[in-house]
Amino acid sequence: MAEAEVSETVKAASLRLYELVSDLPRMGEWSPENTGGKWLGGATGPAAGVKFRGTNRHGLAIWMTSVTITAADPGSRFAFDVDFLGAPISTWEYTFADAADGCLVTERWTDRRPRLMRVTSIATGVRDRAAHNRRNMQETLGKLKAAAES
C-alpha cells in the first residue's frame, strides 16, 4: 500500500488545530484538492462513526466521496476512511502533538484502493497518487499554519 506523510510545527494549541482540520466546510481553504465536506445523517460535528460527503477537484475533474470518521479525539487525532462508489479509497489521519514552540501536526494518507483502481488515473488525472498527495499535504499544512498563526 502506498503512503504519504507530512509534518509541520505550528505556533498554536493542538485543540485549535484539531478544530480547524475537523471543520469540514473549511477544508477547502487549506487543501488544493478537497473543496470541503458536508455532514450526513443529522451530524453537526466530528465523532467516530459519523459520515460526511467529501467534494474534491483536480483540474476539470470533480468527484464526491463517502467518508466515515474513524477517530475524533479533540487536540490529539482526527482520522477517516474514504470510499468511492462502495470501493475503499484511502485513510486520512491528522495527529497533533505538543511541541516546545507550539504543536507538531502530521497529516498521513494511506492508499486503500483495489489494485485495478491503482493502475488507472482516468477518474482524477493523477498518475502518481502518493507523490501528488505529498505535495498537496505540504500545501495544506502550510495554509493551515498560516491560518492558525494569524
**pLDDT for residue 117:** 62
CA–CA distance, 53 with 64 (Å, rounded to integer): 7
pLDDT at residue 126 greater than cutoff 80: no
Give the model's confidence band at 121: pLDDT under 50 very low, under 70 low, under 90 confident, else very high. low
At 24, the amino acid letter reads: L
- Using the Cα atoms of residue 6, residue 7, residue 12 and residue 14 in order, give the sign of their dihedral: positive
Would you say residue 108 has pLDDT above 80?
yes
Show Cβ contacts of residue 1 under 8 Å, excluding neighbours closer than 6 positions: 110, 111, 112
